[in-house]
Chains A and B, each alone.
Chain A
Amino acid sequence: GEDVEQSLFLSVREGDSSVINCTYTDSSSTYLYWYKQEPGAGLQLLTYIFSNMDMKQDQRLTVLLNKKDKHLSLRIADTQTGDSAIYFCAGVSSGGYNKLIFGAGTRLAVHP
């Protein structure tokens, strides 16, 4: 089945770029997702990438996918204090039935 790993904490200065990394084990994942969880709230889909893509850009967000290394990253340009949150990557597990497997989440702290 799928295993998804990500670092637990990242601290950046306001205005800098943030890069959150994720590795996954199941190469059959058709989609890979990034979710954002703000304090006291549920998870919301931030962006996703199809497995046949290498990169996807959406305003300040850039998702890079390295299928060979099974590595996914989320880059946030010009990071703002409002970007402070926990970011989860998620992949689809092919074991059992197709379901999303979430990483442990990376807490992004943005300081002035």
Chain B
Amino acid sequence: EAQVTQNPRYLITVTGKKLTVTCSQNMNHEYMSWYRQDPGLGLRQIYYSMNVEVTDKGDVPEGYKVSRKEKRNFPLILESPSPNQTSLYFCASSSAPQYEQYFGPGTRLTVT
């Protein structure tokens, strides 16, 4: 089954404690991206990757890092989380950025 998986689905952590949210897709997509969803703001892109070892900032990259060492995986790293990073995070993949995006189920992060 074609899918994008994310882990964990729910995470509560404290300020400053480094965390990683994993994302994996099985569709051999070259393009992957991370979004955060906040009420009234829709989806805002954090980082994206056009291919292995090619990543770039989206609209709201501050406080986040990513890596793309393999085509299928695109982890999101918060080196020192802060409460304003409390949000719902989605990973997505696609054959190209302007085409249909396939979304993961989301990770709800709470930073206290």
Among candidates B90, B98, B106, residue contacting A100 with C-beta atoms closer than 8 Å: B98
- B89-112: contact bitstring with A at CB < 8 Å (1 yes, 0 no)? 010100011111101111000000
Question: Could you say which residues of chain A place their CB within 8 Å of the CB of B104?
Answer: 42
Question: Could you say which residues of chain A place their CB within 8 Å of the CB of B40?
Answer: 8, 104
- Tell me if B42 and A98 are in contact (CB < 8 A): no
Q: Say yes or no: A88-B98 contact (C-beta < 8 A), given A42-B103, A42-B105.
A: no
- Tell me if A102 and B42 are in contact (CB < 8 A): yes
Instruction: List chain B positions with a Cβ less than 8 A from chain A.
Output: 4, 33, 35, 40-43, 45, 48, 90, 92, 96-101, 103-106
- Tell me if A99 and B45 are in contact (CB < 8 A): yes
- Tell me if A105 and B42 are in contact (CB < 8 A): yes
User: Roughly how many angstroms separate A19 CA and B21 CA in the complex, as a whole number?
Assistant: 36
Q: Give the residue name and chain of the A residue nearest to B33 (CB).
A: A99
- Tell me if A43 and B103 are in contact (CB < 8 A): yes
Question: Could you say which residues of chain A place their CB within 8 Å of the CB of B101?
Answer: 43, 45, 100
A interface residue count range (under 10 / 10 to 19 / 20 to 34 / 35 or more): 20 to 34
Q: Give the residue name and chain of the B residue nearest to A105 (CB).
A: B42
Q: Output the least CB separation between B41 and chain A (Å).
A: 6
Q: Output the least CB separation between B38 and chain A (Å).
A: 9
Q: Output the least CB separation between B45 and chain A (Å).
A: 7
Q: Residue A30 at the B interface, CB < 8 A?
A: yes
Among candidates B45, B98, B103, residue contacting A92 with C-beta atoms closer than 8 Å: B98
